[in-house]
Amino acid sequence: MEEHKLIIVSLVNKLLMWLFSLVGIGFDPHKEIFPTHIVMALLVTAIIITFFKLAVKNLDLFPGKMQNALEMFYKFFQGLVDDMIGHEGRKFIPALGTLGTFIAVSNLIGLLPEMSSPTANLNVTAGCAVFIFIYYHYQGVKRHGAWGYFKTFTGPNWGLSWLFLPIEIVSHVSRLLSLSMRLFGNIFGEDMVIVIISTYLLSFIVPLPVMALAIFTSLLQAFIFVMLSTIYLSGAVAEEH
């Protein structure tokens, strides 16, 4: 879909082609080794890792502005899992926080010039959805055991398991589709609106209200993804189903 080749994507692919050429591996110069969404996803990952490495380098008993901001960020996730899962849910904060941060930064980076949101590509949003899908099922099996977790799919009455099981399977698969398609559709849509307005109206002022709204929706979509993931985790590890 993307006609415009981003500078950073071209540079990364040229660098990779040069490195591979040193060991005798050649690639078609007109094709990309890494497509745009992969390069941008790697860039987002590098930004997040670098930021947090530097941010936590000088933690102090008396926190400064940055440390206060990081603690508020952690408290946000702590409050979310405490409300939906309970105190035991705090062990899920690293996974949920990492996922939420990646999605939020991925959504926002596309608003910068010569950048693109990796979450505007279905492969990336599907990857995030698959991760949380596997993660919450794994936590359910870890909590209840394989057989105990399977029984949550069959309902309270074995006589009706033939009815409950397919309904539960469809329900869980729909979660996978819903998470990936909702995030992709919203981010792809807002990026396209900004591109169309900027291209055809030839103005730097007209797109600004749309970009301001895009910042809000980008953060909102990250929050919705994390909130739904927390709900699915809550259901998987709950004592009673």
Q: Could you report the average pLDDT of every consecutive run of 10 residues in the chain (241 residues)?
A: 72 87 77 88 96 83 81 92 91 95 95 89 96 96 92 79 86 93 91 73 62 88 96 87 46
Decide if 11 is inside a domain: no
Decide if 204 is inside a domain: yes
- pLDDT on residue 203: 57
- Give the list of residues 6+ apart from residue 12 with CB closer than 8 angstroms, or none: 34, 39
Contact 121, 42 (CB under 8 A): no
Helices (H), the chain: 7-22, 36-55, 65-84, 93-109, 122-144, 146-151, 161-201, 207-237
Decide if 8 is inside a domain: no
- pLDDT on residue 198: 67
Contact 139, 107 (CB under 8 A): no
- pLDDT on residue 158: 74
Decide if 54 is inside a domain: no
Decide if 55 is inside a domain: no
Report the number of distinct structural domains present in the chain. Answer: 1
Decide if 124 is inside a domain: yes
Decide if 42 is inside a domain: no
- pLDDT on residue 207: 62
Model-level pTM greater than 0.85?
yes
- pLDDT on residue 39: 94
Tell me which residue has tokens 């926190």: 63
- pLDDT on residue 145: 92
- pLDDT on residue 228: 96
Q: What angle do CA 40, 44, 48 make, to 5 degrees?
A: 170
Decide if 14 is inside a domain: no
Largest CA distance in the chain: 65
List the domain range (segments joined by +) for residue 166: 60-237
Contact 168, 179 (CB under 8 A): no
